[in-house]
Amino acid sequence: MEGIEVGRKMSEVTIIFQPDGKRVQVEQESSVLSAALKAGIDLISICSGKGSCGKCKVIVDEVAAVNAVTLEELEILTPEEVDKSVRLACFTRVSSDVTIKVPEYSRTGKQRFQIEGIETPVHLDPTVKKYYLELEAPTLEDPRCDADRVINAVQNVGNVTDLFVNLNLLKTLARKLRENDWKFIAILWKNEIIDIEPGDRTSRLFGYAVDIGTTKLAGYLIDLSSGRVAAADSLMNPQVPYGEDIISRLNHPEQNKLQQAVCEGINQILEMLLERTGVKSQEIYEMTAVGNTVMHHLFLGIDPLYLGRAPYPPVVRNSIAVPASDLKININPNGKILVLPTIAGFVGADTVGVILAMEIHKKDELSLVVDIGTNTEIVLGNKEQLTAVSCASGPAFEGAHIKFGMRAASGAIEKIVIVPETLDVIVQTIDSKPPVGICGSGMIDLVAEMLKAGIIGVGGIFKRDLDNPRIREVENVKEFVVVPASESGTQAEITFSQKDVSQIILAKAAIHTGIKLLFKRQNIKKEDVAVLFVAGAFGSHINKESARMIGIFPEIDLDKIVFVGNAAGTGARMCLVSESEKVLAEEMSKFTQYLELGIDPDFQKVFLNSNIIPYADLDEFPEMSQVLKDAGNYPEVPPPKF
Amino acid sequence: MEGIEVGRKMSEVTIIFQPDGKRVQVEQESSVLSAALKAGIDLISICSGKGSCGKCKVIVDEVAAVNAVTLEELEILTPEEVDKSVRLACFTRVSSDVTIKVPEYSRTGKQRFQIEGIETPVHLDPTVKKYYLELEAPTLEDPRCDADRVINAVQNVGNVTDLFVNLNLLKTLARKLRENDWKFIAILWKNEIIDIEPGDRTSRLFGYAVDIGTTKLAGYLIDLSSGRVAAADSLMNPQVPYGEDIISRLNHPEQNKLQQAVCEGINQILEMLLERTGVKSQEIYEMTAVGNTVMHHLFLGIDPLYLGRAPYPPVVRNSIAVPASDLKININPNGKILVLPTIAGFVGADTVGVILAMEIHKKDELSLVVDIGTNTEIVLGNKEQLTAVSCASGPAFEGAHIKFGMRAASGAIEKIVIVPETLDVIVQTIDSKPPVGICGSGMIDLVAEMLKAGIIGVGGIFKRDLDNPRIREVENVKEFVVVPASESGTQAEITFSQKDVSQIILAKAAIHTGIKLLFKRQNIKKEDVAVLFVAGAFGSHINKESARMIGIFPEIDLDKIVFVGNAAGTGARMCLVSESEKVLAEEMSKFTQYLELGIDPDFQKVFLNSNIIPYADLDEFPEMSQVLKDAGNYPEVPPPKF
């Protein structure tokens, strides 16, 4: 706040957030959550202030300055927490000046993001082109207008027709031409002359590809003369404080703030990349962007409201090019931003990017692509046909609705082994820090290991009695102690309860149902799948065997399962580097058939059967069944089929 | 100023302009001219503050508050004026608070503008189209995106391909469709769906055509369903206070202010038209604009600097479509503004408009079009060929550089008859007000009458001695008293000097040279011309015979001379009403050959010969010569030919 105290209204109070030391003034009775948002504190709020996620825990230094603990909070907070003045920021309203401590576990923090994706070679043919030109100055004998003079010259050296000059460039064209003594580089985007620059720098040509994830943004600075990534980085999507999941975002009343936030994030990554490479923002003439349909709409300022209401239609499907200045993206202001096309309300431009990257449309063999996230997109097919479905797998893998769930940040448990005999637990955490929670890959390991150890059965129900100190019952709910308080980074136990297991099973059931129905509709058997590509940052850290064990993947050879990282970003980069990939993206957006799972008559039945681990028809998973038999955890009575 | 006194800096002074009562604060030592500009006072300043035109006369109430009268002012002001504290605003610098009176004769005021132009019938086919649609809402079985749904429906009823939805519309499309329960009007501009509106108002469809003149703006609200003018009005171009002629405008350092000024003027006319007709700004989906190349560039924000430097190349020639919101023009924000193409640096979109309006490109017979202004554009040709030239006729006809010259405002002498025997003068003024100056048509009459009365000879030189009280000599310069002080509206004589005659002859010589060289290059004789169209607001008030007498027009039958009014505006209206006229405009911009007079080897010779009234080769004007012979004013020695 630079020490300046702006005139304060009588009804305002000051909140100081610690340990940041950030100070913010808000109206009396504002919630601590909204104040944190205003102060730019990275407080986790998965439910966007609805009071259901219980993640926005803060510590109040002066209880008299806030309202009394609410009944809702008492359901979520432990008595110890209440004693220590822990509150949920969304329920805490401030009546006078107060200091609020935001503990590390309530912060979104710096997450581990995978930005690398598979490298798919493409023919180098960027949409942005440069031509070095030397023109004769106009004379009384040849007083052609400046624009026609440039256009005619470009036509002479390049194979481009219907050329025209960008209006913004026209505004200063006359001076630019003369200041450069009619020797200059003309920069084209398709048939539009978007800028001219001095000198002979035909070899310097850059682009920026962005993957707008719900949680993270990944940005790639691309040297268009080689097609190579000059630098890449990622950032938490600055929309996260407005709501962690896409449903809270599309329902957010201030859509323009969300648009502004994501654009600022994109600019922030760009700034880092420019600093690292010495490239100038003026030298970047195109940005391509992918993202799910909600991210796509929010980025373009398109109201996404109806994407959250059945039948979830997008507003627009085709790719859209916008002048960079319209979106306030800090590339060359006359540059273009191309947002790739979408396929359906829940199969977005990111899926188009993945299709391009995996080139499944070029192959005879059958590919299955799974891009796991809050929403999991699945594409099946080959060059004859592509079909996509979307499954509401939910945010459980990202830590939501799981008591000790968290994102893949420092201290998150990412790998787990349970010793069946003793139920001793061996954990591996991100950055090898003392464990503070369990991230997605850790939860998948945990459920698989609990199954193999016989802690839970194929129905996901705790089946062992309290014969081991690791297994407890609290208020009629059984739970497994993953990390005792003594080994925990929070000095409190990290547990995994029956409820948590059910959340993971629900998530895996959604994905399994999608794959199962896709197979059924296309009349495909799992053996027909030549390769299963697992895309997305999350995917790469999953233990293949654990994921297959609990039925997230069909039972195919582990060799056929390939992690391809941020393939959506790869698709965005390919479109940046090659004009024909842009055309292909548009084609794929129409070629890929969207299958609405909700209207499949078998949906309910398949979904219920998918709640068995790995599946109600255990014969579909012979290898897994054998593992369970060996572990003595194969059901004597087959699980019910619906 | 709403009574609010904003914090005033120590170095600022307050100027009150009377009789307006406008108050403005400026830096000490600012000129009164710049203060008047800031206060929005319509003070005439033809030379844009260079101190050469002497038009910006103001009266200072407190001489101690300003600098002493400068030597430059002493050359221009009469001793009586100096006595009465009359000053030139551009030379007057303010050191302390002062009240400045701006007399009526120093104001640009409300001019008489002709906005009517010839009516040329065109096939009704506006670019903007409306389609009433009723769509099925999306379902899980048919979850096509909203945009595709609208596009497919338009394709079913209209014959349009490659449709797309305007990005701005996409932002709110989902809500608009649902709020209207999927029954709505889709509005198209070419293949772009620019808006949707409720109800079944397919018959309401409006456009706005604007002629951006250097001096005046003319606006026409057009009912696109009938092609008729719903209302029209005009306004002084708000750029005028920044410089009266195009050269001062294109050299003005703050181009963005000029752009803003003209856009505000266009909005101001529109507001008047909307109020008069009850049409809503939202219902106007397209605006077409014509103007000379400088006006064209300034309107679009294109730096026009080099239009003022040989070889005067425009920055751009082709027509340009811009979203209305980009130019802050208050039609539907998703509507389009189409600026017609230009031909050359000094043959602009207005000339393209005149060509369309006169349809000279469709005729076998030869047409000559003269659009008189500060710059006079001349087009000659038929359907085989069109050739255009531009002549720097200068602002004399608008009153500049003429001691008692003025624009066609109230009290301007517009018609003059001189009784040869007595040299008595009969004048007719605009609005029949007491005369305060002479406007263009009056000056043409005056020179013709002075010639017929033998006051001047064919060389334009005063030839009568001081044998009549109407003829005087002041500081070795002869002058003719047009109106004695007793009959004048300013209580001062209105005179016309040798210098003034020379200015008019220079202007007419420029136009005559253009026509003469155009004839010569095209190998045309004046007898070949089937019709001479005189376009422009000024033209319509000229006495044909006087203008032909002094050689502005070639000596052709008076019946062949047709005044067509604001034909440029007609062209803009035609393009609004008919898509094919837009195509034609683009074609005409390329088809019309521009002839650069400056490089014609005969230019100097023809120009010098044109300084004779009507022309050095008097045989070219037999009828006029006879008039002079009858009046006893035919030269015994033929005028010199160069």
What pLDDT, in 10s, does the model give residues A115-140?
677 888 899 999 999 999 999 999 99
Cβ-defined contact of B315 to A170 (cutoff 8 Å): yes
Domains assigned to chain A? 12-106 (3.10.20.30), 128-198 (3.10.20.880), 208-350 (3.30.420.480), 359-394+508-630 (3.30.420.40), 396-504 (no CATH)
- Where does the pLDDT of residue B9 fall: very low under 50, low under 70, confident under 90, or very high at 90 and above? low
Handedness of CA B413, B415, B420, B424 (dihedral sign): negative
| pLDDT band, residue A611 (cuts 50/70/90) | very high
Rounded-to-integer distance, Cα A288 and Cα A201, Å:
23
Residue keyed to tokens 């050191």: B95
pLDDT for position A48: 66
Q: CB distance from B139 to chain A under 8 Å? A: yes
pLDDT at position A587: 97
Q: What's the CA gap between B610 and B597, in Å, rounded?
A: 14
- Give the residue from A591, A631, A561, A156 showing the smallest Cα distance to A368: A561
Confidence of residue A9 (pLDDT cuts 50, 70, 90): low
Q: How confident is the model at residue B118 (pLDDT cuts 50, 70, 90)?
A: confident
**8 Å CB contact of A316 and B165:** yes
Backbone angles phi, psi at A165, to 5 degrees: -100, 130
What does each C-alpha distance from A604 to A277, A507, A541, A638, B536 come to in angstroms?
53, 15, 31, 20, 77
Q: Is the pLDDT of residue B300 over 90?
A: yes
Share of chain B above pLDDT 70, in %: 96
Residue A313 reports pLDDT greater than 90: yes
**Chain B interface disruption, residue of A135, A167, A182, A305, most B CBs within 10 A:** A167
Rg (CA), chain A: 27
| Alpha-carbon span B102 to B111, nearest angstrom | 17
Q: What is the pTM of this model?
A: 0.82
Name the pLDDT band for A640 (thresholds 50, 70, 90).
Answer: confident
Compute the distance between CA of residue B166 and CA of residue B168 in angstroms, rounded to an integer: 5
Q: Do the Cβ atoms of B146 and A316 come within 8 Å?
A: yes
Asked if B571 contacts B355 with a C-beta cutoff of 8 angstroms, the reply is yes
Residues facing residue A234 across a β-bridge: A218
Secondary structure class of A409 (helix, strand, coil): strand
A310 touches chain B (CB under 8 A): yes
From chain A residues 26-85, the ones with a CB under 8 A of any chain B CB are none
Contact B575, B126 (CB under 8 A): no
The token duo for A149 is 């003079």
Nearest CA in chain B to A165: B316
Q: Taking CB atoms and an 8 Å cutoff, what residues of chain A touch B318?
A: 147, 164
**pLDDT-wise least confident of A1-10, A75-84, A380-389, A478-487:** A1-10
- Rounded to the nearest integer, the mean pLDDT of chain A is 91
Q: For chain A, what's the residue count? A: 642
Q: What is the pLDDT of residue B44?
A: 78
Specify burial of residue A486 (Cβ count, 10 A radius: 0-12, 13-18, 19+). exposed
Residue B104 in contact with partner chain A when CB distance is under 8 A: no
Checking if the pLDDT of A162 tops 70, the result is yes
Residue B42 has pLDDT above 80, yes or no: no
**Could you say which of B145, B303, B345 has the minimum Cβ distance to residue A143?**
B345
Q: Please tell me the predicted confidence (pLDDT) of residue B43.
A: 82
Distant-in-sequence, close-in-space partners of A626: CB < 8 Å, separation ≥ 6: none
What pLDDT sits at residue A2? 37
Indicate the burial class of B80 (C-beta count within 10 angstroms; 0-12, 13-18, 19 or more). Answer: exposed
Task: Using the predicted structure, report yes or no on whether residue A98 has a pLDDT greater than 50.
Answer: yes
CA A543 – CA A100 distance, rounded (Å): 39
Establish if B183 touches chain A: CB-CB under 8 angstroms.
Answer: no
The pairing of strands B529-535 and B561-565 is parallel
Q: Which chain A residue is nearest to residue B146, measuring alpha carbons?
A: A315
Kindly report, residue by residue over B380-432, the tens digit of the pLDDT. 999 999 999 999 888 888 888 899 988 888 889 999 999 999 999 999 998 88
Alpha carbon distance B238, B270 (integer Å): 14
B375: pLDDT confidence band, cut at 50, 70 and 90?
confident
Please check the confidence at residue A111 and state whether its pLDDT lies above 60.
no
Parallel, antiparallel, or unpaired: how do β-strands B22-27 and B57-60 relate? unpaired
Interface check for A562 against chain B (CB to CB < 8 A): the answer is no
In chain B, which among 520-539 make CB contacts under 8 A with chain A?
none
The answer to whether B229 and B222 have CB atoms below 8 angstroms apart is yes
Q: What angle do CA B315, B319, B322 make, to 5 degrees?
A: 95
The order of strands in the sheet holding B561-565 is: B561-565, B529-535, B366-371, B376-381, B386-391, B592-594
Helix A293-300 and helix A255-277, axial crossing angle in degrees, nearest 10: 90
Contact B59, B87 (CB under 8 A): yes
pLDDT for the residue B5: 42
Going by C-beta distance under 8 Å and a sequence separation of 6 or more, which residues neighbour residue A5?
none
Residue with token string 């060059």: A383
| A283-292, A625-634, B537-546: which is most confident | A283-292
Chain B residues touching A310 at Cβ < 8 A: 140
Residues in B touching A598 (Cβ below 8 Å): 140
In tens, the pLDDT along A194-238 reads: 999 987 766 689 999 999 998 889 999 999 999 999 999 988 899
Name every chain B residue with its beta carbon within 8 A of the beta carbon of A313: 138, 143-146, 149, 174
Assess whether pLDDT exceeds 90 at residue B201. no
- For chain A, what is the total number of helices (H) and then of strands (E)? 16, 27
Per-residue pLDDT, B526: 94
What is the average pLDDT score of chain B? Answer: 91
- For B472-488, the pLDDT digits (tens) are 999 999 999 999 999 99
> Distance between CA B425 and CA B446 in Å, rounded?
10
Nearest to B598 among A140, A146, A170 (CB): A140
| CB-side neighbour CA atoms (13 Å) of B558 | 10
CB neighbour list of residue A467: distance below 8 Å, 6 or more residues apart: none
Calculate the dihedral angle through the C-alpha atoms of A56, A57, A61, A67, rounding to the nearest 10 degrees.
70
**Distance between CA atoms of residues B373 and B397, nearest Å:** 8
Q: Predicted ipTM?
A: 0.82
Please tell me the predicted confidence (pLDDT) of residue A392.
86
The mean pLDDT value for B111-119 works out to: 69
A171–B300 C-beta distance less than 8 A? yes
pLDDT by residue (tens digit) across B243-259?
A: 877 888 999 999 999 99
Q: Does A316 touch chain B (CB under 8 A)?
A: yes
What pLDDT is attached to residue B112? 58
Whether A147 and B317 have beta carbons less than 8 Å apart is answered as yes
Which neighbouring-strand residues pair with A593? A387
> Do B102 and B18 meet the contact criterion of CB atoms below 8 Å apart?
yes
Structure tokens at B62: 């407190």
Residue to mutate among B144, B145, B168, with most A CBs inside 10 A, is: B145
Neighbour tally for A49: CB within 10 Å: 19
d(CA B359, CA B575): 13
Could you report the per-residue pLDDT of B60-94, keeping only the tens digit for each?
988 899 999 998 899 888 888 899 899 999 999 99
Contact map slice: B 219-258 vs A, CB within 8 A: none
Half-sphere exposure of A285 toward its Cβ, with a 13 Å CA cutoff? Answer: 25
CA atoms within 13 A on the CB side of A497: 13
Q: What is the pLDDT of residues B589-642, one digit of tens each?
A: 999 999 999 889 999 999 999 999 999 999 899 999 999 999 889 988 888 888
Determine contact: B590 vs chain A, CB below 8 A.
no
**Would you place residue A6 in the very low, low, confident or very high pLDDT band (cuts 50, 70, 90)?**
very low
| Mean pLDDT, residues A3-19 taken together | 67
B599 and A140: CB-CB below 8 Å? yes
Residue B296's Cβ-side half-sphere holds a number of Cα atoms within 13 Å equal to 35
Distance, first Cα to last Cα, chain A = 61
Report, as an integer, the average pLDDT of B140-156.
94
pLDDT at A603 over 90: yes
Most A CBs within 10 A among B250, B316, B390, hence the mutation to make, goes to B316
Nearest to A596 by CA among B144, B254, B5: B144
| Cβ <8 Å between B145 and A316 | yes
Q: Does A493 have pLDDT greater than 70?
A: yes
pLDDT of residue B202: 65
Which of B30, B94, B88, B33 has its CA nearest to residue B62?
Answer: B94
